[in-house]
Structure 1
Amino acid sequence: MDNASPAPSPSSQLHVVLGAGQIGPRVAELLLARGHRVRLVQRTRRAPERPGLTSVCGDITDLAFAEEATRGASVVYDCMNPPYHLWPTQLLPIARGAVHGASKAGAKLVALDCLYMYGVPDGPMREGSPRRPCSKKGALRVDLEEMRLGAQRRGDVRVAIGRASDFFGANVPLSAWGERFYTRALAGKAVECMGDPDMPHSYTYVEDVARDLVTLGEREEAMGHVWHLPTAPAESTRALARRLGRALGVEVKVARLPRLVLRAVGLFSPFVREAVEMAYQWDVPYVIDDTRFRETFGVSATPVERQVADVAAWARNRYELAAPSAAPGIPARAR
């Protein structure tokens, strides 16, 4: 938290953030900056505490723990997402714990979601697009939506669901823009795309994801609905990778990763084995329509030029790179 952020007052609301992965801590920081008290809940280790922020750890599928972890909350943010290979056994029980905790606390529930339930799109994906999953994980996401909205219809809890596309941003190790992207790009090797790198593909900026989940938690009219979170206009993976490369002063080459290679790697990696069925997202235009959110809340995605500049600044510090040289495409390492 920035030193200039206001200290939470004794009367500030308690917001509970479930999940300390790529999005949860960002949500927590924004809430702290707004003067709220925040409780960060994660499975295996407690986050460092400081004024306004407390941390607990435990298994949210244990409904007694879920109830205790969310006690006193005005808003609960479900940012949890188990590894792909654990979805069949953990995805619904984890989300059920969040619903139970928010219900018992009388809190609003804001849940982060993805786009898998739509299957192969035949146009821009909107909140009302048909649920036509073409993967096991997509089918699970349909069940997850029904479980959450069913609780809303029964009056058990007020729920808002925010859906994002694949993440883009700084420090997103579980995305296409994680450690492997930088190690390959900075070594002069081609970065990998799971499908056609020239297909339009929506990438949602992680800082916007956190901001927009907080917006849903603040607005009563958000409850009971699915919302597509603001996302910059889709461009190809190759184009976005080259943007980032120019900002870093390196030439980024992008290559399609053949399905046979993915399947071979999947023999040894549970994550890759499960990721193969999602590769269709890069074989067709994969575009999210965020009109409803923008028009309702007056919030748009961060311009992609700003996204890239901020990510490049983070990467230069993380990988000890100097500012780009005047000559494009030349690596500019500081050492």
Structure 2
Amino acid sequence: MNRRVLILGMGGHFGSVAARAFRAAGWNVDRYHRGTDMAVAARGVRWIINAMNPPNYHDWAHQIPQITSQVLSAARDSGASVMVPANVYVYGREPSPWRADTPHHPCSRKGRIRAKMEERYREHAAEGRSVVFLRAGDFVNPESPDTLLNRVVLKNVRKGRITAMGKPEAQRVYADLADLTQVAVSLADTADSLPGLLDLGYPGTRFSFREMADELAGQLGREIAIKRFPWTALLLASPVWELARELREMRYLYDMDHRIDGTDFEALFPDFEPKTLQRLVFEHLYMRGMKVVPDHGAKMSTQTSL
């Protein structure tokens, strides 16, 4: 059985962790180098994992369709199946829980770009080709300083506070990348046995900034305050700072309760248990060199999955 996979965007959040997970599972992992011929890179691979985004959040409207065209052309030429780590931007303000049949009503520029991208993959799947959308909420990874959780929310945790990017009580869905990429590896083993589209929602771990602050307080044994993110300052910066504009477009997601329906996922992975909020908090503190109070230390092993 062919166990070669081509990963696009291996330097990014999903791609880097996915490469590690596939290698650990015995797959041969090829890295795509941006700007080279993707069709040549895809020769002989079983899967193309498209985790590639425009560098530095630049020019999504032009680059995402271009990347999509390259992936679809390479998949047709090589016969490879395609897996895409999909997000929830396409749903806009549609009430959750979000499922594969939830209408796509994006309310942001990025959401509309992603919805058009997904439609092209759906058309590709309708031709009898295997396509997987592994759909998840915000990525978290205790190892990466560049996730929003590390870069913004937990930036000042040593000073006894976190930064809430929206309503502190809003419950949102998150995907630990070690968990999510294990799912990707499992899907790669079997999901191409039947052609067509698999749009699989990953329920992940759901919590609010308030619940995170409470869990941090319990593990650290001291009060953790919640500070609101300065969206007004970001608004002033967004005309000249692309990352600021990208964040501002997604502000609505931080103020609304949402979750991904796990029915289809649980049918495929009945024994899979995503990390709990307690575990996620512990791992993030551990990677920062911050000790938890003894009772929490007894409950959580220092043997992390990192």
What TM-score comes out, normalization by structure 2 length? 0.86
2: distance between equivalents of 1:228 and 1:212? Answer: 11
In structure 2, relative to structure 1, the CA distance for the partners of 1:245 and 1:28 (3 Å cut) is: farther
SS at the partner of 2:169?
coil
Partner of 1:29: 20
Instruction: Tell me if 1:224 matches 2:214.
Output: no
Question: How far does the alpha carbon of each residue in 1:56-112 deviate from its partner, in whole angstroms, 9 at most, with x for none?
Answer: x232xx6xx011111110111111122444211211211222222222211111111
In structure 2, relative to structure 1, the CA distance for the partners of 1:311 and 1:259 (3 Å cut) is: closer
Partner of 1:287: 259
In structure 2, which of residues 123, 129, 132 is the aligned counterpart of residue 150 of structure 1?
A: 123
Partner of 1:18: 8
- Give runs of aligned pairs for residues 291-330 of structure 1, distance below 5 A: 291-298=263-270, 299-316=272-289, 321=290, 323-325=291-293
Partner of 1:77: 49
Moved more, 127-136 or 298-307: 298-307
In structure 2, relative to structure 1, the CA distance for the partners of 1:248 and 1:87 (3 Å cut) is: farther
In structure 2, relative to structure 1, the CA distance for the partners of 1:26 and 1:262 (3 Å cut) is: same
Instruction: Tell me if 1:209 matches 2:180.
Output: yes
Kept after mapping to 1: 8 A contact 2:207/2:277 = no
Question: How far does the alpha carbon of each residue in 1:228-251 deviate from its partner, in whole angstroms, 9 at most, with x for none?
Answer: 12412x221221244245445664
Partner of 2:134: 162
In structure 1, which of residues 60, 76, 94 is the aligned counterpart of residue 67 of structure 2?
A: 94
Identity of aligned residues (%): 26
In structure 1, which of residues 104, 107, 131 is the aligned counterpart of residue 80 of structure 2?
A: 107
AA partner of residue 125 (structure 1): W
SS at the partner of 1:197?
coil
2: distance between equivalents of 1:121 and 1:255? Answer: 28
1: distance between equivalents of 2:162 and 2:282? Answer: 19
Instruction: Tell me if 1:178 matches 2:154.
Output: no
Q: Could you say what the CA RMSD is over the residues aligned between the two structures, in angstroms?
A: 2.4
SS at the partner of 1:177?
helix
1: distance between equivalents of 2:211 and 2:185? Answer: 30
1: distance between equivalents of 2:211 and 2:177? Answer: 19
SS at the partner of 1:178?
helix
AA partner of residue 16 (structure 2): P
Question: How far does the alpha carbon of each residue in 1:100-135 deviate from its partner, in whole angstroms, 9 at most, with x for none?
Answer: 222221111111110001001323111111111111
1: distance between equivalents of 2:279 and 2:114? Answer: 32
Partner of 1:58: 34
In structure 2, relative to structure 1, the CA distance for the partners of 1:102 and 1:246 (3 Å cut) is: farther
Partner of 1:256: 228
Q: How many residues align?
A: 291
AA partner of residue 20 (structure 2): E
Kept after mapping to 2: 8 A contact 1:230/1:300 = no
Kept after mapping to 1: 8 A contact 2:170/2:255 = yes
In structure 2, which of residues 29, 36, 54 is the aligned counterpart of residue 38 of structure 1?
A: 29
Kept after mapping to 2: 8 A contact 1:186/1:250 = no
AA partner of residue 255 (structure 1): K
Give, in angstroms, the shift of residue 267 of structure 1: 4.1
AA partner of residue 147 (structure 2): S
Moved more, 238-247 or 92-101: 238-247
Q: Which of the pair has the greater relative contact order for Cα pairs under 8 Å at 6+ separation?
A: 2
SS at the partner of 1:183?
coil
Give, in angstroms, the shift of residue 262 of structure 1: 2.4
Instruction: Tell me if 1:192 matches 2:160.
Output: no
Question: How far does the alpha carbon of each residue in 1:126-146 deviate from its partner, in whole angstroms, 9 at most, with x for none?
Answer: 111111111111111110110
Kept after mapping to 1: 8 A contact 2:126/2:196 = no
Moved more, 163-172 or 212-221: 212-221
In structure 2, relative to structure 1, the CA distance for the partners of 1:196 and 1:272 (3 Å cut) is: same
Kept after mapping to 2: 8 A contact 1:85/1:274 = no
2: distance between equivalents of 1:112 and 1:34? Answer: 19
AA partner of residue 162 (structure 2): V
Structure 2 residues without counterparts, runs of 5 or longer:
297-306
